[in-house]
Structure 1
Amino acid sequence: MATEPLIEVHDDAATLATAVAGELLTRLADAQSAGRVPHVVLTGGSIAGAIHAEVARLSSGTESPPVDWTQVALWWGDDRFVPAASEDRNALQARTAFIEALAIPAAHVHEVPSTDDVATAEEAAQRYADALVEHGADQFEVLMLGVGPDGHVASLFPGFEQLDVRDRDVAAVHDSPKPPPDRVTLTFAALERARSTWFLVSGEEKAEAVARALSPATTSGAETPASVPRGREETTWFLDRAAASRL
C-alpha cells in the first residue's frame, strides 16, 4: 500500500547529504541483517553527488553500520543516452563519487546502456528492462529521486507521453526539455515497486515544484510528475530549508 509522504527538513545541502547518506547505510545494513540483497535506485544531480561522496566517507569510518557492498545491487532511475564516458551520465558521476572507492562488484552495478552499447534509446530501454527481470529487481529497497524545477522525476517530464506508460518498466525519451535530448527512464510502473521512496531536493529554485508535488490540491501527475511516486512502506522528502521554503 502506498504511503503518505513524510517531510524532513535540513539546514542546508551539506547537512542534508550527510543525513541521507547515514540513513541509506542504516537501511542497507538492516536489509542485509534481514537476509535481503538490497536493490537501490540512484539518481543524479548535485545533491546526489554530495550524498554519494558522504556514502564513501561514512563507509570508511567506524561509526556507521557495516554494509557488505558485495551484496548490494545498484540501479538508476534514469540516465542520458550518451557515451559511457560522458560527464552527462549519472552512472559516471556515481562511479567517481563512491562505487569505485567502495569496490562494488561490476556484476552488481546495473547501468543504463549507453550509445557505446546499443544504437537507439529504445534498444537501451529494452535491454535495461530485461536486466531488471534477469537480476530479480522486483522490489527496490530504496528508490532515490531528484526533482526538477518543473516537477519532473527521473526523466518523466510534465506533459510527456511516458507518464502514461504502465505496460513496461522502462521507456525511451526524446526531445527532453533539458539537454541531452535522448534518455532512458524507469516508468511509474517500476517506480512504484520500492519499499522506501526518497525525494532528495536542495535549492530555492526547486521550492515551487516541491510545494506543488506535496499539495493536496495536486491530483494529477501530468503537470507535476513528482506528485506520483510513493513507497510501499515509506515515502520521505529530504529537503534543505531553501527547497522547503514554499511549504
Structure 2
Amino acid sequence: MSLPIGKTTTASMWNTGRMPATDGQRRPKRVALSEWVYDELLSRLFDDTLPPGTPLNIDALARDLDVSQTPIREALARLESTGLVTRAALRGYRAAPLLTGAELDDLMHARGVIEPAVARLAAPRRTDGFIAALGETVTRLAEAPKGPTFAEYHAYWEADETFHQLIAQHADNAFLHRAFESLGGQAQRFRMFGGLGVSDADHAIREHRAVLEALDSGDADAAGAAMQAHVDAVRGRAAAEA
C-alpha cells in the first residue's frame, strides 16, 4: 500500500455540464469497451471530475461517453465493489463520500489484522511463480509514474493493489480472501489523499521489498511481521497527511 499526498479537490470544482471525452480519452480500438468505460469513470472519480456525492445517472453517462447503457451498468457495479460508488434503492448510484479520519483509521486497523494473517499463510506456500509475480509488481511500483493526476499514478496504484491481492490469493484461505476483498478500501484511501502524486513511494517500495524477501524465505512469522510493519507505516503516514 502507498499513499498519494494531498486531498481531493472540493465539489465546487465539479463541472455540471457534459464531460465529453478528449482525444486522449477516446477508447483505444484494442481495449474492450467495458474496460475503457470502467477506467474512464475510475479516472473521473479519482481526479474529482465526479466529486463525492455526485449522482451517477446511467443514461447521462452513456450519452456522455457515447456508449450503450450496458457497459455503464457493468462499470458502476464494479466500482460499487471497490467502495468508490454507492447504490441506494430508488436513488440509483452516487460517487461515494470520502472516508472520514475515523473510517480511515478503522480501515487501516482492519488491514492490519487481515494482511499480516494472509502473509503468514502465504509464506510456507511460496512458489517460484508466486515470488516472480510479486517481484514483477515491485518493479512496476518502482518504475511507474508518480504525478499528480490519476492518469499519472494509475499504474503505481494498480501495481500496489496487485501486490496485496496476490498475497491474499496465495494464502489459499477463502474466508480471509473474501474479508480482504470486502474491505474495498484501498481505492477509497487513494481517492481520499489523491491529487498531488504519490508522497511515500520510496518508503512503500522498500517496505514491499521487505515483504517480498520475507515471503521468499518461506518464514511465516517473518512475512507476517514485514507486512505488519508495512501496514503500520502506511497507517502512520496516512494519519500525518489527514
Q: TM-score range by the shorter chain?
A: 0.3 to 0.5
Which structure features the higher share of strand residues? 1
TM-score by length of structure 2 reads 0.32
* RCO comparison, higher one (Cα < 8 Å, 6+): 2
Which structure features the higher share of helix residues? 2
Greater Rg by CA: 2
